[in-house]
Structure 1
Amino acid sequence: MSIVNQPHRLVAAIDFGGSATKVIYALHEQSQTPASLVMASEVIQVFSTRLDCGQAQIVAVCPENRAWVKLGQDCWAVGHFAKRFHAHAGLNQPKFERAIYKTLAAIWVIQQRLQLPQQFELSLSCVLPPNEYADRDRVERQLQIVLNQFQTATGSIEVKLIQFDCQPEGAGIAIHYANAVNGDFAMRQIAIAMIGHRNASVITFNQGMVSVFKSSNLGFIRCLEQIEQQTSGQPPERLLPAVVRWIASKDERAFNAIARSTHYRDEEIQQLVKATQQAKADYIHALLSWLQEAVPDPIDEWIFAGGTTNLIAPDLVDFFGNHISFHASIEVPETVDSSNYRHRLSDVWALFQYACSRHLQHTA
């Protein structure tokens, strides 16, 4: 086959986050100029007639906000488009159950962005929590089947999965850190904790070998759920931006946008402040207790990453002192981080770089 006729090869790394699906991608021949894609995490099965109805109302909207996929007779709305059908983020479901639809939707969006033909090749990397890592073979088998042909808003797509690599959450951080410190990695005991919206996980390395590999449900959603129980009419998705602003500033005005009462507004805001203070303290206590139980051995350095880490960084420093660092000093280039997700992309960005190096080795 001549070089001219070789199919396009897409290299992508995906993180099925609880608050957002995050992807770093590039064409194989353009791997030095990657881009990022961030999609809402909602997924819901819908009737095909409802897809047609929804599409008619969102002409000229970017593809990541109108994504759906069809497998056989089953149709799934994904991301922002799924919100039109009152979808939820599935935070209490295993990530792999929705990973297939999120992957297909992301691949379609990327195909639209890069103006790829309907047929192309894919080298895909992804991450799963340690307690779902055993499902990696199932994810690969399903993707091998469904990527062969699936329907989208712009027609059928046929993708050949030429490489698949599934790593536990934090693997990108670990690989980057190990390369940065070189031989020192095998001489120290390192713990990498990923604190996200849906879950928290930890991996420890003793002389370069994995010694602890655990997950819990202690994502930041647990803090928001406690606030929800102590306030009126404030679901987690409504609370999240206000709570984040309050934690960063301690300014009560952070809750102005979500206060619902007309006559008792100040009282409601004080209730939100008090509930947030208590919920955050309880959440930090539960998280630190779990980490101590999960990692009983002495650790030379704790590395924290994930979307929740920056919110609770002062509490982590107070507890771990000098034995702590954040995000393995990974900086995602501004040219890649178009959504300004910053350190929330650290793990998947490092995984993408590792995937590119492996892909080049296999195709050399």
Structure 2
Amino acid sequence: MRLSLIDPPKVYVSADLGSSASKFFYRLHLEQTAPIWVGAEVVEGLAPEILNGFNAGGRPQDNAWLEVDGNVVMVGEAAKAFLDSNSLSANKAEKAVYKLAAVLGVLAELEQLPSRYEATIWLSLPLAEIKTRHEISAKLVALCQRGFTFRGKAQQPTVNLKCFPEGFGLYLHRKQQLERLGEKIALRPTSIVMMGHRNLSILSFENGSLNLAGSASDGPGFWPIFEKAARSAGMTAPDYPALLRALSSGDAEQISPARASVFDFSVAMAAVQSAYGQAVTVYLRDNLLGRVLEGSADILISGGAFPMIRAQLEGFFEEIHCRERVTFTEGDDDTLTDVVRDLPESYQLSTLSIRMMDGYGLFLGLIGKLPSTAASR
């Protein structure tokens, strides 16, 4: 489909800048829903000389770099070789502008866009970081106005950024599901529990609006607890990916890089699940129990970390007599599954659909606001 040479192309993007990975969906053409998964790592302030001999092959999201004001910024997989510390410890908003600029460069390369185009972005941020939305927007607009280079090609898009609390995409997705059943979500008080690698968030909705008094995003994150429990069980950093695979898949036997052989991670799995499960249930008891006892609120559980302690969660909700009101977001939306099926990451991560659900719901909300002819060029 040829794009107009007169009007700049318009692209619509949802962004979920997770601390373990950044997840995006975009639309340029009518009915298009394209997913992009990018590593969370960002390293800035590098000298241009590092690009000499740098491998620029493969997918742009796997070898992504920006040139900004004479310096090089590596994003995602390409940044790993330059990291001093694990990105899971970084503040989510700190590197947001570079991550957003990088994904614009990725989709511009994939879609062969000119240097000037228009981008509307809906971005999810943890509730505690929503206050940074104006700073992120101003810096992104300024960067795009003066222009940057992505993998050697000039980029100067016009951007419009709007921010939402993390988990709002799940609410929009649930709203769409209920509408198909002839029900209105505004008539159903709803609490969304997002269990992420860096923090746990609760979003509470009443009469279709966010209830800040019943919402929080200071709950225990999976990664700090994982690291502490793994160390206490005798694990070292080289085995962390294998232990994560064991927890995600439920298969305790994985190849251990530290041992160069297959190893049974059962003891370490139990240590992590016990520590994380206890921290989460204590937090939910302190921050969600009152809302449960007040009335018949629907509770949606999501986030990439919840499958690792699902049994503990089910036991907790049965104990407080509300299991029937709890929905575990399994990522089994048929449309979403079809959309992400071709991503190589879908074969590596059993929880991929779950982790992309919030961004997908946000994308559906963005697309739902467009006129029927939008993105048809």
Same fold? TM cut 0.5: yes
Is 2:165 the partner of 1:171? no
**Gaps (5+ residues) in structure 1?**
none
Q: Hey, what's the Cα distance between the residues in 1 that align with 2:280 and 2:40?
A: 24
Instruction: Tell me the secondary structure at the aligned position of residue 10 of structure 1.
Output: strand
Q: Which amino acid aligns with 1:195?
A: M
Q: Hey, what's the Cα distance between the residues in 2 that align with 1:202 and 1:240?
A: 28
Is 2:75 the partner of 1:81? no
Is 2:216 the partner of 1:205? no
Q: 1:346 to 1:119 in 2, by over 3 A?
A: same
1:144-186 alpha-carbon deviations (Å, 9 max, x no partner):
111221122223210001x322111111111221233355423
How many Å apart are 1:78 and its aligned residue? 0.7
Q: Hey, what's the Cα distance between the residues in 2 that align with 1:130 and 1:284?
A: 22
Match of 2:305 in 1: 308
1:32-70 alpha-carbon deviations (Å, 9 max, x no partner):
1221111111111242234323xx241423211221112
Is 2:107 the partner of 1:110? yes
Q: Hey, what's the Cα distance between the residues in 2 that align with 1:134 and 1:285?
A: 30
Judge which range, 202-211 or 5-14, deviates more.
202-211
Q: 1:216 to 1:362 in 2, by over 3 A?
A: farther
Task: After TM superposition, list the pairs within 5 Å mapping 1:253-292 onto structure 2.
Answer: 253-254=253-254, 256-260=255-259, 269=263, 272-292=265-285
Q: Which amino acid aligns with 1:198?
A: R
Match of 1:22 in 2: 23
Q: 1:164 to 1:337 in 2, by over 3 A?
A: farther
**Gaps (5+ residues) in structure 2?**
318-322, 347-351
Q: CA RMSD in A?
A: 2.6
Is 2:87 the partner of 1:90? yes
How many Å apart are 1:245 and its aligned residue? 2.2
Aligned counterpart in structure 2 of residue 334 of structure 1, from 333, 338, 341? 338
Q: Hey, what's the Cα distance between the residues in 2 that align with 1:243 and 1:95?
A: 21
Q: Hey, what's the Cα distance between the residues in 2 that align with 1:252 and 1:88?
A: 27
Match of 2:39 in 1: 40
Is 2:148 the partner of 1:137? no
Judge which range, 59-68 or 180-189, deviates more.
180-189
Match of 1:346 in 2: 357
1:85-138 alpha-carbon deviations (Å, 9 max, x no partner):
135443333211110111111111111111111111101111000110111111
1:94–1:132 Cα contact (<8 Å) kept: no
Instruction: Tell me the secondary structure at the aligned position of residue 334 of structure 1.
Output: helix
How many Å apart are 1:231 and its aligned residue? 4.5
Aligned counterpart in structure 2 of residue 226 of structure 1, from 228, 242, 258? 228
Match of 2:320 in 1: none
1:217-254 alpha-carbon deviations (Å, 9 max, x no partner):
5222133212332255622x7414433325643x4422
Question: How many residues get paired?
Answer: 349
Q: Hey, what's the Cα distance between the residues in 1 that align with 2:324 and 2:74?
A: 46
TM-score, with length taken from structure 1 = 0.87
Q: Which amino acid aligns with 1:334?
A: D
